[in-house]
Structure 1
Amino acid sequence: MKKWLPLIIIAIIAIGLYMKGSGFYNSVIEEEENISEQWSKVESAYQLRSDLIPNLMKIAERYAEYEQETFKSVIEARSKATSIQIDPSNITPEKLEQFKQAQGSMTSALSRLLAVFERYPDLKANENYKEVMNSYDRVEKRIKVERDRFNESITPYNNLVRKFPNNLYASIFGFEKKSRFDGDEGIENAPDINDSIRKN
């Protein structure tokens, strides 16, 4: 019996490590699914913003036909922003940075467009314009909420893979710390869409 005791102890330790490792793995997969789901909501919110731009441009062009350069910059920024898609299962810091920069350019172009609108009182008085702007304001608020929720979903995952002894299993399974969506200058200060309406 004594000669089998070390083998039995090793077997018990191995089973314990296996159970701990499999439990850890399943927990990380669950957290990754939460992150993926929340990221899809972030992208959906930005897509809603992008979808409103053609309506806004259509209304604006009737009143501000001489602002073609500004319109062109908005169209180009929208095209670039919608071309960058991120696989939620592989949100790398580099890809997240590309997405943030593209959306920041979109925000910057829209800020310039809103500044143009200030020169056209008739445009600001248009009911269709007001309706689109109100929708836009709601979308900007939703973007902020979904970004915050995405960042919140990152915390339990990062805690799980970085704490000892889980970090040992994380290195074995290839799980790494994930990046948050930190706002850039152009993103964190989203344009106050309704400001032009309130001034009217």
Structure 2
Amino acid sequence: MRTVAALLMMLAAQAVSAATAREQLDTFAKGLRSLSGSFQQTVFDANDKPGKETRGTLALEAPRQFRWDVSKPYAQHIIADGMHVWIYDPDLEQVTVRNQGIEESHSPLTVLTDLSQLDREYVATEAGERDGAQWLRLKSKAKEADFEYAELGFTTAGLTRMVFKDTLGNRTEIQFSDWKRNAPVTPGTFTFKPPAGVDVIGEVKPEAEVHPVKD
């Protein structure tokens, strides 16, 4: 009986590993309205030399709301409210704001809550298996993309890793953990008001390319 159970477990594991990365993305994103978790990020230069490691938390909510909070080694907050993207550096007492339509090209994570964006804005190809994960490579269709490609790595736990390579040859590797799917989002998570006294760079004004949040 134990042998039969072990065989069934092996067959199940093989069935999971046989799924393509795109199929795993579809499964992970199915019914997904909001997502939150933790991240650990390392940037490697063009010579593959690692820089400082950063850690923090992130949250997404359909259709285009996003929050990225770095806690170590320094604080930084990136909030996409559906109209604009705010980048707040407390140590510098500085806020940068831009239209979200521009910033979205930097954030392949938004495909998790809007799979229609994947085929609309990216060319997706299977990148094979490595490091125990199935990888999906995304290349932006934009004429002047800010990254060469991004890769999403999936295991039986869902999305566990992401890799970016920018146009200068730098590579960013991100590991995800503690995912919470469709959990209630704290009010105000995706809104931002610049603190008094900080410098604000950029303007808050609607433009044609901005994607407003829909009810």
TM over 0.5: no
Give the TM-score, by structure 2 length.
Answer: 0.25
Say which structure is richer in helix: 1
Say which structure is richer in strand: 2
Structure whose CA Rg is larger? 1
Q: Which has the higher contact order (CA 8 A, sep 6+)?
A: 1
